[in-house]
């Protein structure tokens, strides 16, 4: 009896490279910038680095993959001696994963993800400002190493022979890989707009949104308060949009009594600290509210909304009505009209909002 043991080892090395060498026309970093000082402070510097890394979306990783198959062959003979000749061939294939960096852009085109602010970071700082401070902080790239080994494979064969023979077994391990190219990261652009109020029945402009003890309606365009929000470069529409009032610590929101479903009642157009996109309403006392519920058409400027109830269900439809100088999201028209029956229909009618880009 003879025993043949063959082993072939394939070492597959995959290297991932990421380069952020694209130039950006950024203003010089100011050491006394309040947000940069906050990031570098002893209290928050340890948390600022991982936050900025996630906010700027700077991934880089190296992955090592080892595949080790083993083949064992056994030959048994009856009458004569069997001569065994062994030949082992090993093939090594190396592939490279190429990362394509995001294109160069202006400062307001920094690539960043929609990352919630930590509790210690004031929401008055807009995403463009946070991107600039993170850029000045000098965030290092994270490196991750992973090693995977496939289990050995054993193959045993038995042959009965009557004459003296020689047997040669060749084992070749071949690995085929596909060269992967990291897709270009989407560029997020900050847009600014004034919110125009349009009559639903006539499609005529009837006012502008400004701030007076919360969002209100004015006929004077010079009093309109701009909002800022993010859109992906080239996108024609965006959902779960956060409309942040410039100069105020709040975002446009729908609010309603916490004890009722908005689709069965009515609420108010309000300004609150932003809630996460796609999440149920936040509750403050006896009121619930949500901010990141709006949709924006980048071509027409039309603004819509998708209200999510506390149980995660979507309420539809929710209308928007004007009563004097205020706006109200309405789920139950009968309840709403009964509450404002004393207001004439000339001051109580359905409206919608339109973004006038600036």
Q: What is the pLDDT of residue 248?
A: 93
Q: What is the pLDDT of residue 16?
A: 31
Out of 9-13, 77-81, 136-140, the most confident range is 136-140
- What pLDDT was estimated at residue 56? 81
Per residue in 131-157, pLDDT tens? 888 888 777 655 455 555 556 555 555
> Is the confidence at residue 347, as pLDDT, over 80?
yes
> How far apart are the C-alpha atoms of 345 and 322, rounded to whole Å?
10
**What was the pLDDT predicted at 19?**
33
Report yes or no: 329 and 275 within 8 Å, Cβ to Cβ: no
- Say how far residue 180 (Cα) sits from the centre of its chain: 22
The helix/strand/coil state of 293 is coil
Confirm if 253 and 320 have CB atoms less than 8 A apart. no
pLDDT at 285 (0 to 100)? 95
Mean pLDDT, rounded, of the chain: 77
Q: Which pLDDT belongs to residue 133?
A: 86
pTM of the model: 0.50
Q: What percent of the chain stands above pLDDT 90?
A: 46
Please name which of 338, 322, 313, 324 lies closest in space to residue 263, comparing C-alpha atoms: 313
Chain segment 241-254, per-residue pLDDT in tens:
999 999 998 999 99
Confidence of residue 358 (pLDDT cuts 50, 70, 90): very high
Examine the pLDDT at 232 and tell me if it is beyond 60: yes
Binned at pLDDT 50, 70 and 90, residue 130 comes out as confident
Q: Residue 30: pLDDT band by 50, 70, 90 thresholds? A: confident
The two tokens of residue 353 are 């909002």
Q: Is 171 helix (H, G, I), strand (E, B) or coil?
A: strand
Q: Which of 126-135, 203-212, 218-227 has the lowest mean pLDDT?
A: 126-135
Euclidean distance between the first and the last CA atom of the chain, given in angstroms as a whole number: 87
Kindly report, residue by residue over 92-129, the tens digit of the pLDDT. 544 444 433 444 433 333 444 567 889 989 988 888 88
The arithmetic mean of pLDDT across residues 310-328, rounded, is 94
- Residue 165 is predicted with a pLDDT of 53
Residue of 304 and 134 predicted with greater confidence: 304
Return the number of other C-beta atoms located less than 10 Å from residue 156's C-beta. 8
The residue behind tokens 């064969």 is: 157
Mean pLDDT of 322-350: 97
Name which residue leads in pLDDT, 181 or 349: 349
Q: Could you give the CA distance from residue 148 to residue 285 in angstroms, rounded to a whole number?
A: 52
Q: Predicted confidence band at 295 (pLDDT cuts at 50, 70, 90)?
A: very high
- 55-64, 112-121, 164-173: which has the highest mean pLDDT? 112-121
Closest CA to 153 of 216, 69, 61, 254: 69
Q: What is the pLDDT of residue 181?
A: 45
pLDDT at 194 over 80: yes
pLDDT at 70: 55
């Amino acid at each position: 009896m003879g025993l043949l043991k063959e082993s072939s080892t394939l070492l597959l090395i995959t290297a991932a490279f990421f380069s952020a060498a694209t130039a950006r026309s950024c203003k010089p970093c100011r050491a006394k910038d309040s947000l940069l000082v906050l990031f570098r402070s002893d209290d928050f510097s340890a948390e600022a680095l991982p936050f900025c890394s996630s906010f700027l979306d700077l991934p880089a990783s190296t992955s090592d993959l080892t595949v080790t198959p083993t083949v064992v062959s056994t030959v048994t003979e009856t009458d004569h001696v069997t001569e065994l000749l062994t030949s082992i061939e090993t093939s090594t294939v190396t592939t490279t994963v190429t990362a394509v960096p995001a294109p160069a852009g202006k400062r307001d085109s920094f690539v960043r993800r929609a990352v919630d602010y930590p509790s210690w970071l004031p929401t008055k700082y807009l995403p463009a400002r946070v991107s600039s401070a993170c850029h000045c902080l000098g965030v290092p790239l994270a490196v991750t190493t992973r090693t995977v080994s496939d289990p050995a494979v054993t193959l045993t064969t038995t042959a009965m022979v009557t004459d003296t023979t020689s047997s040669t077994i060749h084992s070749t391990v071949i690995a085929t890989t596909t060269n992967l190219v990291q897709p270009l990261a989407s560029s997020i652009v900050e847009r600014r707009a004034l919110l125009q109020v349009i009559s639903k029945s006539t499609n005529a402009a009837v006012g502008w949104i400004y701030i007076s003890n919360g969002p209100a309606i004015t006929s004077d365009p010079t009093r309109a308060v701009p909002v800022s929000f993010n859109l992906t470069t080239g996108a024609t529409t965006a959902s779960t949009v956060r409309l942040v009032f410039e100069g105020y610590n709040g975002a446009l929101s729908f609010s309603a009594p916490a004890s009722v479903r908005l689709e069965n009642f009515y609420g108010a157009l309000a300004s609150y600290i932003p809630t996460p996109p796609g999440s149920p309403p936040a509750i403050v006392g006896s009121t619930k509210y949500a901010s990141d519920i709006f949709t924006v058409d980048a071509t027409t400027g039309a603004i819509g909304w998708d209200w999510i109830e506390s149980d995660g269900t979507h309420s539809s439809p929710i209308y928007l009505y004007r009563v004097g100088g205020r706006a109200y999201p309405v789920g139950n028209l009968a309840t709403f009209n009964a509450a404002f029956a004393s207001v004439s229909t000339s001051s109580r009618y359905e409206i919608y909002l339109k973004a006038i880009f600036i």
